[in-house]
A = this chain, B = another copy of it.
Amino acid sequence: MLRHFPNGMVDVAVVGAGQTKYGNHALGLKGMWAEAASKAFASIDGDFSPSTIDEAFIGSIAFGGSQLGNTAALLTEHSGMEGIAVRRVENACASSGFALRDAWMAIKSGQADVVVAGGIEKMNDLTPERKRYWLGVSGDTEWERLAGLTFPGTYALMARRYFHEFDSNHDDLVNVSVKNHLHGSMNPLAHIQKEVSFEKAAGGFMVADPLTLYDCCPTSDGASCVVLAADHVAKQLTDAPVWIRGSGAASDHLALHDRPSITQLKATQMASSKAYSMAGIEPKNIDMAEVHDCFTIAEVLATEDLGFAARGEGGKFARDQQGQLNHGNTTINASGGLKSKGHPLGATGTGQVVEVFKQLRGEVESARQVRDAETALTHNVGGSGATCAVHVFGRDR
């Protein structure tokens, strides 16, 4: 079945993508995955059978929460992929961003023509104590978690430092929250589908000074699944493939105190620089980006690290609502982002791709459609920046 191309000639496309709604699910792991996979398969225009899938890469962190291990084999045996080569990819909240990268490399390697990348998390079955544990272990444990620093605290430190270094204050973060809630209010798959006013978001109860409730993403259940294909197969499956034009990934110190600066994520800078260079484009060419806004300050830093705003200008970028739908050059988190769409850890990375796939094909609700979107980016971060995967996508012009 496999055909051999020079590496430089195998292009990889997303040909199908689907996800559950994010939120508090009654479904367990197998049910959520079956729903996401079925939707992904159904989104494929041409004649498709899951039996043609060669490999699968599934991202998840807290499988232990649901008491079900051997996660990848468990999920694929019940979704039409029996017998194929599967594995779980775990990289904290960047798990499925890396699952996507590894799936892309599997096709590039000439060893597979059709590959599934996906992710899943069931957070709301966990006790508060286990939830804190499974989130907490993704950061530095020895110097941060065991000393009492949680993720809201980690990002609060970054925010305070950012306000100290640059012309910015909490109002800028409020603007991020208002924008992402606005976008999410139009997304039927979002965990939180409601707008919030500036006043309400500014006055939210304090979680970790200066971050309020409206600066923090919710704890979501959900699953996402995308189907990738080598170019010669992709063209048989759809007239509207979404091409992966660039992939970059990098890592950084887990602990904040080991980093020269805590107002930038080096892993994001390195990963995006590789992805842009591979795609042969610059940040200004990106029409829409799904960025990892686990906290509003993370989106401000990401707009800088990804090159949408100059260093120190991320606050102003947010203040001017440059990332709002069809407002500036690049729409940021048209889906609502982690803040409003929700954040089922392992599902988030490929969930971003589901949004990009639909946007670039003009298939989202019309009010939420990014106009003339041709080029998109996904940005998925693990821990407080210890790992990062960035992908650039484009449709046929």
List chain B residues, Cβ under 8 A from A341. none
Name A's interface SS. mixed
Binary B-proximity of A63-82 (CB < 8 A = 1, otherwise 0)? 11001111111101100001
A252 at the interface (CB under 8 A from B): yes
Closest to A383 in B: B70
A386 at the interface (CB under 8 A from B): yes
Q: How distant is the Cα of A67 from the Cα of B139 in the complex, in angstroms?
A: 11
- Contact partner, A109, options B108, B258, B270, Cβ 8 Å: B108
Q: Do A67 and B141 contact each other (CB < 8 Å), given the known contacts A251-B73, A251-B84, A251-B86? A: yes
Q: Which of A247-289 contact B (CB under 8 A)?
A: 247-254, 258, 266-267, 270-271
A311 at the interface (CB under 8 A from B): no
Binary B-proximity of A94-112 (CB < 8 A = 1, otherwise 0)? 0100100110011111110
Q: Verify A90–B87 contact, CB threshold 8 A.
A: yes
Q: Verify A383–B73 contact, CB threshold 8 A.
A: yes
Interface residues of A (CB under 8 A from B): 4-8, 10, 55, 61, 63-64, 67-74, 76-77, 82-92, 95, 98, 101-102, 105-111, 133, 136-139, 141-142, 146, 247-254, 258, 266-267, 270-271, 382-383, 386-387, 389
- Contact partner, A85, options B7, B73, B249, Cβ 8 Å: B249
Q: How distant is the Cα of A137 from the Cα of B70 in the complex, in angstroms?
A: 7
Q: Verify B92–A70 contact, CB threshold 8 A.
A: yes
Apart from the given pairs A4-B6, A87-B387, A88-B89, 11 other A-B contacts in the complex at a CB distance below 8 Å: A7-B10, A68-B142, A70-B139, A72-B387, A73-B382, A83-B267, A87-B90, A87-B91, A87-B95, A107-B109, A108-B110
Q: Verify B108–A68 contact, CB threshold 8 A.
A: no
Q: Verify A7–B252 contact, CB threshold 8 A.
A: no
Closest to A3 in B: B7
Q: How distant is the Cα of A139 from the Cα of B68 in the complex, in angstroms?
A: 9
Q: Verify A105–B109 contact, CB threshold 8 A.
A: yes
A202 vs chain B, min Cβ distance (A): 33
List chain B residues, Cβ under 8 A from A271. 85
Closest to A74 in B: B254
What are 24 pairs between A and B in contact, CB < 8 Å? A4-B8, A7-B7, A7-B111, A63-B137, A68-B137, A68-B141, A69-B92, A69-B141, A70-B387, A73-B91, A76-B251, A77-B258, A77-B386, A82-B253, A83-B266, A83-B270, A85-B98, A86-B251, A87-B91, A89-B89, A89-B90, A102-B102, A105-B109, A109-B110
Q: How distant is the Cα of A254 from the Cα of B29 in the complex, in angstroms?
A: 15
List chain B residues, Cβ under 8 A from A92. 69-70, 73
Q: How distant is the Cα of A85 from the Cα of B249 in the complex, in angstroms?
A: 5
Q: How distant is the Cα of A387 from the Cα of B383 in the complex, in angstroms?
A: 28
Q: Verify B82–A137 contact, CB threshold 8 A.
A: no
List chain B residues, Cβ under 8 A from A10. 7
Q: Do A137 and B105 contact each other (CB < 8 Å), given the known contacts A6-B7, A251-B76, A387-B86? A: no
Among the interface residues A85, A383, A386, which one has the most CB atoms of the partner chain B within 10 A? A85
A328 vs chain B, min Cβ distance (A): 30
Q: Verify B83–A7 contact, CB threshold 8 A.
A: no
List chain B residues, Cβ under 8 A from A77. 251-254, 258, 386
Q: How distant is the Cα of A98 from the Cα of B95 in the complex, in angstroms?
A: 16
Q: Verify B109–A7 contact, CB threshold 8 A.
A: yes
Q: Verify B8–A110 contact, CB threshold 8 A.
A: yes
List chain B residues, Cβ under 8 A from A110. 7-8, 108-109
Closest to A270 in B: B83
Q: How distant is the Cα of A87 from the Cα of B95 in the complex, in angstroms?
A: 8
Q: Verify A88–B87 contact, CB threshold 8 A.
A: no
Q: How distant is the Cα of A72 from the Cα of B251 in the complex, in angstroms?
A: 9
Closest to A249 in B: B85
Q: Verify A70–B252 contact, CB threshold 8 A.
A: no
